[in-house]
Amino acid sequence: MLRLAHLRPARAAALAALAATPVLAAEPPAPSAVQFNEGSVAQPLTGQPGSVESGKKIMSTNSLGNCVACHQVSAMPDVDFQGNVGPSLDGVAGRYDEAHLRGLVVNAKHTFEVTVMPAFYKNEGYIRPGEGYTGKAPDGPLSPILDAQQIEDVVAYLLTLK
Amino acid sequence: MTSRIAAAALAAALAAAAGMAGADPIDAPEIVINDGEVTLPTRAPAPDFLKDTLPEVLSGWLFRDEDTRAMEMDDFENPGMVFADQGLDAWSAVEGTEGKSCASCHNGIEDSMKGVRAHMPKMNEAGDDLWSLENFVNDCRVNRMGAEEWGWNSPEMKNMTSAISLQSRGEPVKVAIDGPAAEWWEKGKDIYYTRYGQLELGCFNCHEQYAGKMIRADHLSQGQINGFPTYRLKDAGIVSIHQRFAGCVRDTRAETFKAGSPEFRALELYVASRGAGLPVEGVSVRH
């Protein structure tokens, strides 16, 4: 069911623990099934609350979200070379509520139609999609850039930027 | 040389004093090479079709850091010149069944190839295809020399295009975009403004909309190709125009087009036309 082998150990362990509990965690929605309301996504994508620490790592790591490629975050002074294509995220939690932050990370084009910002929880509807950064056509369906829990982790971190 | 270093140090000090983070291109009117032996303007008025979009077109040199800029300002320090020299050697090397070298038909490269690069890509003689410089080289090799064609991104081809481009250094880029080239140009324009891949990015997003901004440590230039082929520090070698296009498309998490494909030749024409008036810099240095 879940390809645990492909996940990072911490995530795999967390999911294994979840699977062991009697409470059934709902499958995350397919990217195309996420419900938007004027750019906002009210329903969390997973039953597990987002991790602030993990969200910070995802945002500042090249191979994950790499949000700092385009956005500046003063709360991460140790992260070099923060970009300025997008607006600073300082105080972003004061400008958007949780549902709207989730919507912006999932697919900001529901808020800003022609934004340059990629959709992080989307896996179809592209022109000449490739397999990651290989430049080659994908063998099968694409994965979204971030998985559902990673989206929740990023939202959790963004909510600390008051 | 000494004065150049002093000037660079002063510029760096001024930049630091002003608290600049390198978000804008530097303000230098020209690239001064070999202490003034060659000077290349870094700016040109935008071509008519871009006038409402950009005030002027800018060399990518203006967006690079001080060390990289300095390398292009001295032919002995420009690592690309080694490869241009190898291309010069190949120019007079006999190859193929006809017992000819490039020089057998074209004589000296300095005169016969002067200005050639500035008009590339262009329609072939038959008028039925748009050719990049690489196509012309291979046409000569196969049809006149009876030699094997070179791979688009092979060292031999990049050495040769470097040597040929150098003969046009300083010539303003001027490509034909009318007549039979017009439909190629339109196709290239479509590609330029199409948002490819999982990151849904078009050339225009980074190189028109956000030129001058930073993506992490990358300072976004206008994506001009007048400096190609370029010595790219990141690749530690010469990079062709189509090789760089493929790298950009790959970085959008897209399936790239192939070097030499009709798509990249069309895009080359369109992007070249966006830099009309900028001088050929090849072989430039970038990172």
Separation in Å, CA A94 to CA A36, A159, A161, B92, B258: 21, 8, 8, 69, 46
**pLDDT for residue B25:** 87
**pLDDT for residue A29:** 97
Please check the confidence at residue B10 and state whether its pLDDT lies above 80: no
**pLDDT for residue B211:** 96
> How would residue B24 be classed by pLDDT, with cut points 50, 70 and 90?
confident
Among the listed residues B31, B26, B2, B29, the one whose alpha carbon sits nearest the alpha carbon of residue B12:
B26
Say yes or no for a CB contact (<8 Å) between B215 and A136. Answer: no
Q: What is the pTM of this model?
A: 0.89
Residue A60: both structure tokens together: 């500042």
Residue pLDDT, tens place only, B161-191: 999 999 999 999 999 999 999 999 999 999 9
Distance (Å) from the alpha carbon of B196 to chain A's nearest alpha carbon: 5
Residue pLDDT, tens place only, A55-79: 999 999 999 999 999 999 999 999 9
Q: Which residues on adjacent β-strands are paired with residue B32?
A: B39
Whether B54 has its CB under 8 Å from any CB of chain A: the answer is no
Interface test with A, best of B253, B256, B287 (most A CBs within 10 A): B253
Tell me which residue in B201, B214, B250 faces A133 most closely, judged by beta carbons.
B250
> How would residue A26 be classed by pLDDT, with cut points 50, 70 and 90?
confident
Chain B residues with CB inside 8 Å of A118's CB? 198-201
- Which residue of chain B is at minimal alpha-carbon distance from A119? B199
A:B CB pairs within 8 Å: 81
Chain B residues with CB inside 8 Å of A84's CB? 23, 213-214
Using DSSP bridges, classify how beta strands B122-123 and B56-58 pair: parallel, antiparallel or unpaired. Answer: unpaired
CA A7/CA A147 separation, integer angstroms: 10
Cα torsion through A128, A133, A139, A140, rounded to 10: -80
CA B203/CA B198 separation, integer angstroms: 14
Mean pLDDT score across all residues of chain B: 93
Residue in the structure block whose two tokens are 């004589």:
B107
Residues in chain A: 162
- Which residue of chain B is at minimal alpha-carbon distance from A67? B216
Residue pLDDT, tens place only, B56-110: 999 999 999 999 999 999 999 999 999 999 999 999 999 999 999 999 999 999 9
Contacts for A55 with CB less than 8 Å, ≥ 6 apart: A153, A154, A155, A156, A157, A158
Mean pLDDT score across all residues of chain A: 89
Whether B90 has its CB under 8 Å from any CB of chain A: the answer is no
Say yes or no for a CB contact (<8 Å) between A129 and B253. Answer: yes
Please check the confidence at residue B6 and state whether its pLDDT lies above 50: no
**pLDDT for residue B282:** 85
Say yes or no for a CB contact (<8 Å) between A130 and B201. Answer: no
Whether B250 has its CB under 8 Å from any CB of chain A: the answer is yes
Say yes or no for a CB contact (<8 Å) between B198 and A129. Answer: yes
Whether B103 has its CB under 8 Å from any CB of chain A: the answer is no
Q: Is the CB of residue B60 less than 8 Å from the CB of residue B223?
A: yes
Active site residues of B: 248
**pLDDT for residue B235:** 96
CA A48/CA A138 separation, integer angstroms: 30
**pLDDT for residue B8:** 42
Tell me which residue in B198, B215, B249 faces A83 most closely, judged by beta carbons.
B215
Whether B77 has its CB under 8 Å from any CB of chain A: the answer is no
> How would residue B18 be classed by pLDDT, with cut points 50, 70 and 90?
very low
Tell me which residue in A69, A127, A134 faces B215 most closely, judged by beta carbons.
A69
Whether A114 has its CB under 8 Å from any CB of chain B: the answer is no
Span B46-64, average pLDDT: 96
What value of ipTM does the predicted structure carry?
A: 0.87
Which string of DSSP letters, residue by residue, matches chain B?
Answer: -HHHHHHHHHHHHHHHHTT--S-S----SEEEEGGGTEEEESEEEPPGGGTTT-SEEE-GGGGS-HHHHHHHT-TTT-THHHHHHHHHHHHT--BTTTTB-HHHHH--HHHHTTTGGGG-SEE-TTSSSEE-HHHHHHHIIIIII--PPPPTTSHHHHHHHHHHHHTTBTPBP----SGGGHHHHHHHHHHHT--BTTTTB-HHIIIIISTT-EETTEE------TT-SEEETTTTEEE-HHHHHHHHHHTTTBPPPPTT-HHHHHHHHHHHHHTTTSBB--SEEE-
Whether A140 has its CB under 8 Å from any CB of chain B: the answer is no
Whether B205 has its CB under 8 Å from any CB of chain A: the answer is yes
Distance (Å) from the alpha carbon of B81 to chain A's nearest alpha carbon: 30
Please check the confidence at residue B137 and state whether its pLDDT lies above 70: yes
CA A88/CA A72 separation, integer angstroms: 5
> How would residue A25 be classed by pLDDT, with cut points 50, 70 and 90?
low
Among the listed residues B157, B174, B177, B176, the one whose alpha carbon sits nearest the alpha carbon of residue B237:
B157
> How would residue A24 be classed by pLDDT, with cut points 50, 70 and 90?
low
